[in-house]
């Protein structure tokens, strides 16, 4: 006797679920239901998949193959969570099986139990502390969010140091008291150790952690601790969203504006936006926190879709830091006419040097921010002008150490020789600067001082990160030098001076979000200064060649509202997000001619589709054009943008464009990034 037919989302790059038959011996099995994992034949192999729906049509010219077995070791996915996965697959135009594949831990439960772990607990075991007194602003925000237990999107817009973390903890304490579970997403692994410790001091052993710095065993342990309900609060980077928590009662997105919540490869989802949909399906609140909200989130708060909660003062009325701007053009001219300072490196102004010296003598900490790793962005031959390039990418190689050239995109590296490899005569010279050079110069200028460098070259493991943060918190570090790793959410009591070595790095990028990112970065870095001083404000010194840039002007005034109004007016004129939704098609391959032909064909298909269907008339087409990084990892890359006012309509348009791939030349790949963040 034949069994029922099921749609199965197979863990393979297939555009739709496949139909399988449940053999008679599986009929009546308690796990033969939507959300359960099964093993099915696929070609000459077997694959895992998740049951999506029964009652599938078994008619047709092809023989329907049977489900091999039900995989009882994987828990069935909760219904609202499975609905969310289906939404993610549809919205971001990604195979449903591959989306579901992201949910399960790297090791099976039995396999995980056999492995031995030599590390301590992922979440620290620390003594519990009493809660501090809430400020008036914090109490209003907490009460406002707790007033509605059902779905609602809440934006907590609080200045740096206003105590947003304490708001999160109060919400989580209430949640645990109601025997529910929560997800807390942070944008960077660098935030996780400090935030985890603060949560553990208040929430005890209720905290689990998932991020890329964990071993497969640790990830699996933490996943099961949440799925089985042994832990109540899961803290992690964007991938923590793919832990199927059944008893979900709250989602918190800290630093919601950060671009790292958007995944750029494979499943190109945005964790913040996806979390809002997940909260709606679970009928629970989602809290977005930031001192510099994304303009998309700010627009939703202003038009009433999200509820806005504001905290305009620092805890205990501590003063906001003073922001000084040093014009590097004037500094350059002064060096030509005034008494020379041979001790100062080219990147360090006299004003910032004096401030660093004063802070060191006072026994406090300084941080220098530069969003570039290495010693120099590149080297150049003074004889012929040649700059060593990566053979795989159209970028110059970055100098690390004395002679190590590295590509930060594909990891190609080579040794820099004493003479130019092109003209065989000139001696290559470093051009520009990076965090490694800044560190070396500080050690020369301040002998005996302790310098901690925090970038992807220096901090490579979770242990490195935890050790660096512990040293800084213990006061064993005088100077912190770092990239974006130190710009987001970190809280160090003795840090009273922050210097932005070269603010211009963030300006004038070929991206309509460049000004927004620059303002957010400047404000967030500045916000690390003076968070625990009540008498004298912290100091922020911005070195720049563009002192009149709008991002700097609004940062000096601590004026997010003013910046948002200014930038929104520019976006509205050009119909850029948040006044439209945007999809970015990327066309890439090893053969430049094939890639260009495929990009032109994509545009022609889009134009024909616009002409045929009146529903698409408000959609705009931009391009195709070479990406700003036109060649990466040996692939030539073109970009084609589509934008329109309605997300659902735009999604249908993009799916139709990609529905039939027979026209795409062999060796060319076309991918779609809905609500793209990175256009470089």
Q: Among 626, 630, 581, 624, which Cα is nearest to 605's? A: 624
Q: Among 561, 571, 566, which Cα is nearest to 549's? A: 566
The whole-number average pLDDT for the span 528-539 is 82
pTM summary value: 0.89
What is the reported pLDDT for 1? 42
The span from the CA of 453 to the CA of 459, in Å, is: 8
The answer to whether residues 400 and 511 touch, using CB atoms and an 8 Å cutoff, is no
The answer to whether residues 653 and 642 touch, using CB atoms and an 8 Å cutoff, is yes
The whole-number average pLDDT for the span 558-563 is 93
What is the reported pLDDT for 425? 80
> For the packed helices 514-526 and 560-574, what is the interaxial angle rounded to 10 degrees?
170
Banded pLDDT at 427 (limits 50, 70, 90): confident
Q: Is 117's pLDDT higher than 80?
A: no
Cα 263 to Cα 269, 452, 664, distances in angstroms? 6, 29, 25
Q: Which CATH superfamily is domain 322-375+433-568 in?
A: P-loop containing nucleotide triphosphate hydrolases (3.40.50.300)
What is the reported pLDDT for 505? 74
* Cα radius of gyration (the chain): 27
Q: Is 412's pLDDT higher than 50?
A: yes
Reported as a single tens digit per residue, the pLDDT across 337-360 is: 777 676 788 889 999 999 999 999
Mean pLDDT of the chain: 89
The span from the CA of 639 to the CA of 628, in Å, is: 9
Q: Is the bond preceding 624 in cis, omega lying within 30 degrees of 0? A: yes
CATH 3.40.1440 positions along the chain are 5-78
What is the reported pLDDT for 236? 92
The answer to whether residues 583 and 654 touch, using CB atoms and an 8 Å cutoff, is yes
The span from the CA of 25 to the CA of 1, in Å, is: 9
The span from the CA of 577 to the CA of 580, in Å, is: 5
The answer to whether residues 212 and 465 touch, using CB atoms and an 8 Å cutoff, is no
Query: Class assignment of domain 581-674?
Result: alpha beta
Mapping DSSP to helix (H, G, I), strand (E, B) and coil, where does residue 155 land? strand
**Helices within 119-261 (DSSP H only):** 136-146, 164-177, 192-203, 216-227
Where b means 16+ CB within 10 Å and e means fewer, 490-521 reads bbbebbbbbbbbbbbbbbeeeeebebbbbbbb
The answer to whether residues 428 and 380 touch, using CB atoms and an 8 Å cutoff, is yes
What is the reported pLDDT for 275? 98
Q: How many C-beta neighbours within 10 Å does residue 594 have?
A: 17
The span from the CA of 36 to the CA of 33, in Å, is: 6
Q: Among 132, 165, 133, which Cα is nearest to 290's? A: 165
Mapping DSSP to helix (H, G, I), strand (E, B) and coil, where does residue 402 land? coil
Reported as a single tens digit per residue, the pLDDT across 193-227 is: 778 888 999 999 999 999 888 889 999 999 999 99
| Residue 432 DSSP class | S
- Residue 90 has which token pair? 């549809």
Residue 9: φ, ψ to 5°: -80, 100
- Residue 305 has which token pair? 């879709």
- Dihedral sign for Cα 266, 377, 459, 403, please: positive
The whole-number average pLDDT for the span 234-258 is 94
The answer to whether residues 629 and 395 touch, using CB atoms and an 8 Å cutoff, is yes
The answer to whether residues 481 and 439 touch, using CB atoms and an 8 Å cutoff, is yes
- The CATH code of domain 113-317 reads 3.40.50.300
What is the reported pLDDT for 408? 78
- Residue 152 has which token pair? 């609602």
**Helices within 338-461 (DSSP H only):** 350-361, 435-445
CATH 3.30.70.600 positions along the chain are 581-674
The whole-number average pLDDT for the span 159-172 is 93
CATH 3.40.50.300 positions along the chain are 113-317, 322-375+433-568
What is the reported pLDDT for 617? 84
The whole-number average pLDDT for the span 51-60 is 75
Q: Is 41's pLDDT higher than 50?
A: yes
What is the reported pLDDT for 359? 94
The whole-number average pLDDT for the span 591-611 is 95
What is the reported pLDDT for 389? 87
Mean pLDDT lowest for which of 74-83, 100-109, 264-273, 306-315?
100-109
Q: Is 153's pLDDT higher than 80?
A: yes
The whole-number average pLDDT for the span 384-396 is 84
- Residue 509 has which token pair? 């990028």
What is the reported pLDDT for 603? 96
Banded pLDDT at 37 (limits 50, 70, 90): very high
The span from the CA of 651 to the CA of 654, in Å, is: 5
Q: Is 650's pLDDT higher than 90?
A: yes
- The CATH code of domain 5-78 reads 3.40.1440
The span from the CA of 521 to the CA of 542, in Å, is: 12
- Dihedral sign for Cα 654, 659, 663, 665, please: positive
Banded pLDDT at 379 (limits 50, 70, 90): confident
Mapping DSSP to helix (H, G, I), strand (E, B) and coil, where does residue 105 land? coil
Reported as a single tens digit per residue, the pLDDT across 279-303 is: 999 999 999 999 999 999 999 999 9
The whole-number average pLDDT for the span 98-119 is 77
């Amino acid at each position: 006797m034949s069994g029922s037919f099921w749609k199965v989302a197979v863990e393979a790059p297939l555009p739709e679920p496949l139909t399988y038959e449940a053999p008679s011996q599986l009929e009546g099995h308690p796990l033969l239901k939507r959300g359960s994992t099964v093993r099915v034949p696929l070609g000459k192999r077997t694959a895992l998949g998740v049951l999506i729906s029964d009652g599938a049509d078994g008619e047709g010219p092809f023989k329907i193959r049977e489900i091999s077995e039900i995989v009882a070791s994987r828990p069935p996915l909760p219904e609202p969570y499975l609905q969310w996965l289906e939404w993610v697959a549809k919205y971001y135009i990604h195979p449903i099986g591959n989306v579901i594949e992201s949910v399960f831990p790297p090791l099976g439960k039995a396999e995980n139990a056999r492995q031995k772990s030599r590390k301590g607990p992922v979440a620290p075991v620390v003594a519990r502390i009493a809660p501090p007194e809430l400020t008036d602003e914090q109490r209003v925000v907490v009460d406002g969010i707790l007033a509605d237990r059902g779905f609602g999107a809440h934006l907590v817009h609080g200045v740096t140091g206003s105590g947003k973390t304490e708001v999160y903890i109060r919400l989580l304490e209430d949640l645990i008291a109601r025997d529910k579970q929560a997800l807390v997403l942070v944008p960077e692994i660098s935030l996780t150790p400090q935030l985890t410790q603060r949560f553990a001091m208040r929430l005890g052993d209720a905290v689990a952690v998932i991020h890329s710095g964990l071993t497969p065993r640790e990830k699996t342990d933490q996943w099961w601790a949440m799925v089985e309900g042994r832990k109540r609060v899961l803290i992690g980077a964007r991938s923590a969203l793919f832990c199927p928590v059944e008893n979900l009662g709250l989602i918190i997105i800290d630093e919601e504006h950060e671009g790292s919540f958007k995944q750029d490869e494979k499943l190109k989802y945005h964790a913040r936006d996806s979390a809002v949909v997940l909260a709606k399906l679970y009928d629970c609140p989602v809290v977005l926190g930031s001192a510099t909200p994304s303009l998309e989130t700010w627009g939703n708060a202003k038009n009433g879709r999200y509820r806005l909660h504001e905290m305009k003062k620092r805890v205990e009325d501590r003063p906001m830091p003073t922001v000084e701007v040093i014009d590097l053009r004037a500094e350059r001219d002064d060096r030509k006419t005034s008494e020379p300072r041979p001790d100062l490196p080219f990147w360090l102004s006299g004003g910032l040097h004096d401030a660093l010296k004063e802070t060191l003598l006072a026994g406090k900490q300084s941080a220098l921010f530069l969003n570039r790793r290495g010693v120099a962005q590149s080297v150049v031959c003074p004889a012929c002008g040649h700059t060593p390039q990566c053979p795989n990418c159209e970028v110059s190689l970055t100098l690390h150490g004395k002679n190590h050239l590295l590509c930060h995109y594909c990891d190609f590296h080579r040794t820099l020789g004493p003479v130019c490899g092109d003209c065989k005569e000139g001696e290559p010279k470093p051009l520009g600067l990076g965090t490694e050079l800044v560190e070396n110069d500080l050690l020369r200028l301040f002998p005996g001082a302790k310098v901690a460098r925090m970038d992807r070259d220096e901090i490579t493991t979770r242990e490195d990160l935890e050790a660096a943060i512990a040293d800084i918190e213990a006061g064993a570090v005088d100077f912190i030098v770092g990239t974006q790793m130190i710009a987001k959410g970190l809280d160090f009591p003795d840090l009273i001076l922050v210097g932005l070595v070269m603010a211009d790095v963030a300006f004038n990028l070929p991206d309509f979000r460049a000004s927004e990112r620059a303002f957010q970065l400047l404000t967030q870095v500045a916000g690390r200064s003076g968070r625990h001083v009540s008498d004298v404000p912290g100091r922020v010194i911005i070195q720049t060649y563009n002192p009149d840039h709008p991002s700097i002007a609004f940062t000096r005034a601590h004026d997010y509202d003013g910046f948002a109004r200014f930038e929104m007016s520019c976006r509205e004129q050009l119909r850029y997000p948040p006044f439209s939704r945007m999809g970015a098609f990327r066309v890439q391959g090893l053969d430049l001619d094939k890639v260009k032909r495929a990009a032109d064909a994509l545009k022609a298909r889009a134009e024909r589709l616009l002409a045929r269907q009146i529903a698409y008339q408000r959609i705009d087409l931009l391009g195709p054009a070479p990406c700003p990084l036109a060649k990466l990892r040996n692939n030539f890359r073109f970009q084609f943008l589509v934008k329109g006012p309605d997300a659902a309509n735009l999604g249908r348009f993009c799916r139709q464009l990609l529905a039939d791939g027979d026209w795409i030349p062999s060796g060319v790949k076309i991918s779609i990034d809905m609500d793209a963040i990175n256009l470089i």
